[in-house]
Structure 1
């Protein structure tokens, strides 16, 4: 995508750094505290709403729950209400987002996005 950023900008105190999108497994949030979990197991915790993070993401990212955004490049299976990740973790899919998440994931795998 032209003009698409390739990383998530993280602001923490007086430091600004970038987390490469390819390294992200998922992003979780609890109130305004967001946490990026990477494939190497690093956790980058900072204050931001999902609405502030989403402009940095591409089509491989899907909000599957009010508290989770998953990187579909790192998903190995979708089973009922769970995304299974390549590191062995699983993320819940909320009932409200289940149908849309299933359809989006299938279209993503087909290359229809």
Structure 2
């Protein structure tokens, strides 16, 4: 879980950071929560374009710009959930017009912040899969997985966090443990997250980071049909 905070008030940063850490240690102790803090809006935007955040907290009144404008810009480029906060109600209505996830008023209410975090996890259905590495359990959010490939006795998990995680396991076992309809077996050595597919070719699927996932030639029609069925169902579910 990667959360970004953009605020020029160190006191507010400390308050929000402490609340988020307490929330995850209490409710999701197995999920590693990475907090990235920025006091400069330009630095934040430069970093944001190179990173994949799961959730953002942005103060509206920043020294060098307006947090609402930042939220608008991000909303055009990516669909990252954003929680704005301010001492004023002036931007609350406008915020929800840009599909804002939440709006907090100062002084910040920790209980209200926790309510938004609860709703975030309900909406995103925080599913995980775990692996043991060097005697330690490592937890991965399944929604961050682009695809999984197997080589020999190892599986390589490619994520949207620019990670390539290696574990001793079989792809058959990983697929069984995932038990998730959004993952499609395209080949004996590949399992792809259909929500991360951006392009389809006669030989492969392309995912968000530009990498290709091989499709078994003999089962091409069947695999592509499964993908199309999934996309249709997803679109129907979003409409109702």
Report if TM-score (shorter chain) is over 0.5.
yes
Q: Distance in 1 between matches of 2:169 and 2:182?
A: 20
The root-mean-square deviation of aligned C-alpha atoms, in Å, is: 1.7
Against the structure 1 CA distance between its residues 97 and 9, is the aligned structure 2 distance closer, same or farther, given a 3 Å change threshold? farther
Write out per-residue CA displacement over residues 40-77 of structure 1, whole angstroms, 9 at most, x where no aligned residue. 11111010011221122411101101111011010012
Higher strand share: 1
> How many angstroms apart in 1 are the aligned matches of 2:184 and 2:208?
16
CA distance in 1, matches of 2:185, 2:218: 11
Structure 1: stretches of 5+ with no match in the other structure: none
TM-score by length of 1: 0.88
When Rg is computed on C-alpha atoms for both structures, the one with the higher figure is 2
- Give the secondary structure class of the aligned counterpart of 1:111: helix
Higher relative contact order (CA 8 A, sep 6+): 1
> Is structure 2 residue 224 aligned with structure 1 residue 102?
yes
The answer for the alignment partner of 2:193 in structure 1 is 71
Residue 5 of structure 1, CA deviation:
8.0
> Could you state the TM-score of these two structures normalised by the residue count of structure 2?
0.43
